[in-house]
């Protein structure tokens, strides 16, 4: 897939270094508390990249003039429900790349997999992610309290997550 500025293709096992770079950057983000931990070690990231590639639901995103992976867009397909996910290196935030690639990948899924609606979840405290989902046409359906990580004392880090839906 291509857009005006991006090349988007399914992730392959060879993309492990790009995914590792993105995962290491995400680990330094203030939003890391609101998501599942991504591995950063070489063997673990290689295994995860292979798993992502086998799913055929993970897409690597590149600027057209570069071979450096700047992010990924993915779906988690649970019983025909396509839940949108994404992660971009912070050097590429605020440039519209996430919007452009998410829109292209959702259009691809709608056309090639007959997807009629998408879901997505994000922490309500993650305002850039909430704004991206709203710009993509998602609407908040409900909220729930979640925890994916523990603090230094072993207590759950609880946050309010939003469940969003977009009809296609």
1 located within any domain: no
For the chain, give the number of residues. 168
Write down the pLDDT at residue 79: 80
The predicted-structure confidence for 94-113, as pLDDT tens digits, reads as follows 999 999 999 999 999 999 88
**Per-residue confidence (pLDDT) for residue 80, from 0 to 100:** 79
What are residue 99's phi and psi, to 5 degrees? -60, -50
Structural domain of 151: 6-167
Q: Give the model's pLDDT for residue 129.
A: 97
Distance from C-alpha of 145 to C-alpha of 93, rounded to nearest angstrom: 27
Kindly state whether residue 98 falls inside one of the protein's structural domains.
yes
- For 30, the token pair is 């203030």
Judge whether 44 lies within some domain: yes
pLDDT at position 44 is: 97
pLDDT means over runs of 10, the chain (168 residues): 96 98 96 91 97 96 96 90 96 97 95 91 97 98 96 95 94
Mean of per-residue pLDDT scores for the chain: 95
pTM (2 d.p.): 0.94
CA distance 41 to 130: 29
Q: Total domain count for the chain?
A: 1
For residue 25, what pLDDT is reported?
97
User: Residue 156 has what pLDDT?
Assistant: 96
Q: What is the CATH number of the domain that holds 25?
A: 3.40.630.30
Closest CA to 125 of 158, 97, 159: 159
């Amino acid at each position: 897939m291509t857009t005006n500025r991006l090349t988007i293709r399914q992730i392959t096992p060879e993309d492990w270094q790009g995914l590792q770079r993105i995962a290491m950057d995400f680990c330094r983000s203030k939003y890391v508390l609101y998501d599942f931990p991504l591995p950063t070690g070489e063997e673990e990231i290689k295994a995860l990249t292979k798993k992502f590639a086998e799913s055929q639901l993970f897409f690597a995103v590149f600027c057209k003039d570069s071979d450096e992976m700047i992010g990924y867009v993915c779906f988690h397909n649970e019983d025909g429900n396509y839940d949108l996910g994404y992660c971009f290196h912070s050097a590429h935030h605020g440039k519209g790349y996430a919007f452009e690639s998410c829109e292209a990948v959702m259009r691809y899924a709608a056309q090639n997999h007959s997807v009629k609606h998408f879901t997505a979840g994000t922490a309500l405290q993650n305002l850039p992610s909430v704004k991206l989902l709203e710009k993509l046409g998602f609407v908040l359906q409900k909220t729930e309290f979640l925890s994916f990580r523990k603090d230094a004392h072993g207590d759950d880090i609880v946050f309010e997550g939003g469940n969003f839906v977009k009809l296609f």
